[in-house]
Each structure stands twice: as structure tokens, then as C-alpha cells.
Structure 1
Amino acid sequence: MIVRYWRGWTTPANADAYFTVLTEQVIPGIAARAIPGVEGPVVLRRDLGDEVEFATVMTFADEDGVAAFGGAEGGAVVPAAAREVLSRFDEYSAHYEVAAGTAAVTRPNV
């Protein structure tokens, strides 16, 4: 399994507009591509005061899915509508091989 991690930043004034682009255009567009073995994206949002950081995390069953999505080299896939409201973004995504994980985290009774 491969995880693709990407970040983009907006001004606070553009943060909600970017989130709308993500939820109404980008995520449905990814789903419409129906790439086998793709899950996500999970969208993370963090207010940094003078800017807002967004991170997206997607999982792929294998390298073929990664390449089908955005190329094996990891170039950013950023539609024009997103570029209009982002102040900057990672030109390349980071790809990680999942080495270990759990489906659920349990806490011992305290």
C-alpha cells in the first residue's frame, strides 16, 4: 500500500473557498476517475494564523494506482480552480510505503 501526502496553503480569507473547491470539484473528480485501489483523500486543515495549511492523504493499493493518478514521479495534481485560491503548494507529493499500521487503536482500561 502506498500513501500519497500533499500540502497546499491559502490565506485565511481564501481557506473556505479552497475547501469548497476540494469538496465540490477535486474530490468528486478523483472519485469519477475510478482508479482501482484508491482511497481518499482525507483532508487535513490547520490554521497557522497568517495562512491556512491543507494536507491531503490518499492511499493506493500499489504503484500502478499512484502512476494512474498523477504519475510515478509524484507531481502535484492541482486543478486551475484550486490554483486560483492557493497561495503556494507542494510541487511534488511525497509517497510512502505503508510499513505497519492498525485498523483500530485500543486503550487499556485505566
Structure 2
Amino acid sequence: MVVRIWHGYTTLENADAYEELVTSRIFKDIEAKTGEGFKGVELLKRKLSEDEVEFTTMMRFKDLETIRKLTGEDYETAYVPREARELLSRFDQKVTHLEVVHSQIP
């Protein structure tokens, strides 16, 4: 299994709208595009300052081939739909992929 980690940042004002967008639409679109190889996602959030919120996504996929269904051959480039870009103040252009070697998540 491969975990895909990415960071995006919003203003405090846009944080709720961004969270709603990714949890109600974008994650479902990703699952639809990648099928059975999609193994789950976690959205993490922290307030960095009075003006900025950081979001971290940790998506789990069966393998890199599954990720390529979403991104094409350039699987290290971030997948950030237009609607999300409009709410983000900045984001990682590249993602990190890590192989899961041990997990104790129930």
C-alpha cells in the first residue's frame, strides 16, 4: 500500500468552505476515478496563525498504478481541482509517496 501525503493552506475565512468541498466532492471524485485501488483518506487540519489554516491529506492507494489513474504518468504532481485552487492561498506542487510497511489501524 502507498500513502500519498499533501499539504494545502487556506485563509481562516476559506477554511470551512475548503473542508466542505474536499469532503463532500473531491474525495468522492478521487475514489470514483481510482476504483478499488483507493483504500481511504484522512484530512488533517491545524490553525497556523490568526490568518492561516493548514490541511494535510493522507490518501491510501493499493499501488502507484492506482495513483496514475488519477494523475497520469506524472504521479508526483499534486492533484488540485480548480474549485480547490480558488479556496487555497498556497499548496504543495508535489506530493510525497510512502510505502506502508506496518500498520495498526483497526
Return the TM-score normalized by structure 1.
Answer: 0.85
- Indicate the residue corresponding to 2:16 in structure 1: 16
One-letter identity of the residue aligned with 1:57: M
Aligned residue pairs total 104
CA shift, 1:100, in A, is: 1.9
Q: Does 1:56 align with 2:37?
A: no
Residues in 2 aligned to 1:47 and 1:39: alpha-carbon distance in whole angstroms: 27
Residues in 2 aligned to 1:34 and 1:43: alpha-carbon distance in whole angstroms: 18
CA shift, 1:40, in A, is: 2.2
CA shift, 1:83, in A, is: 0.3
Unaligned runs of 5+ in 2: none
The 1:60–1:97 alpha-carbon spacing in structure 2 relative to 1, beyond 3 Å, is same
Alignment check: 8 A CA contact 2:33 2:69 kept: no
- Indicate the residue corresponding to 1:77 in structure 2: 79
Q: Is the partner of 2:35 in helix, strand or coil?
A: coil
CA shift, 1:17, in A, is: 1.0
- Indicate the residue corresponding to 1:36 in structure 2: 36
CA shift, 1:66, in A, is: 1.8
Which of the two has higher C-alpha Rg? 1
One-letter identity of the residue aligned with 1:70: T
One-letter identity of the residue aligned with 1:27: F
**Bigger share in helix:** 2
Residues in 2 aligned to 1:66 and 1:31: alpha-carbon distance in whole angstroms: 10
Return the TM-score normalized by structure 2.
Answer: 0.88
CA shift, 1:43, in A, is: 0.6
Residues in 1 aligned to 2:56 and 2:91: alpha-carbon distance in whole angstroms: 10
Residues in 2 aligned to 1:60 and 1:25: alpha-carbon distance in whole angstroms: 18
**Bigger share in strand:** 2
Residues in 2 aligned to 1:103 and 1:44: alpha-carbon distance in whole angstroms: 16
Q: Does 1:87 align with 2:70?
A: no
Segments ≥4 residues shifted beyond 4 Å: none
Unaligned runs of 5+ in 1: 105-110
